[in-house]
Amino acid sequence: MSTPTRPAPGERWTICRLDHVHWGANGGAGLLLRHASAEGEPRYLLALRSRSVDEPATWGMPGGAIRDGEMPEEAARREMIEEVAHVPAYRIAAERVQDCGGGWRFHILLADVDRLFDAYSQQETDATGWFTRAEMHELPLHPGIRLWLDQAEASDLPDQAHTSQ
User: For the segment 142-164, what is each residue's pLDDT rounded down to a tens digit?
Assistant: 999 999 999 888 885 444 333 33
- The values of phi and psi at residue 75, to 5°, are -65, -45
DSSP H or E stretch at residue 14 = strand 13-15
**What is the C-alpha to C-alpha distance for residues 132 and 67, in angstroms, rounded to an integer?**
31
- DSSP, collapsed to helix, strand or coil, labels residue 95 as strand
Instruction: Quote the radius of gyration of the chain (alpha carbons, Å).
Output: 15
Instruction: Say what the pTM is.
Output: 0.86
DSSP per position, 11-53? -SEEE-TT--EEE-TT-EEEEEEEE--TTSS-EEEEEEEPTTS
Domain ranges of the chain: 13-157
Task: Report whether CATH 3.40.50.1000 matches the domain 13-157.
Answer: no
User: For the segment 86-127, what is each residue's pLDDT rounded down to a tens digit?
Assistant: 889 999 999 999 998 899 999 999 999 999 998 888 878 889
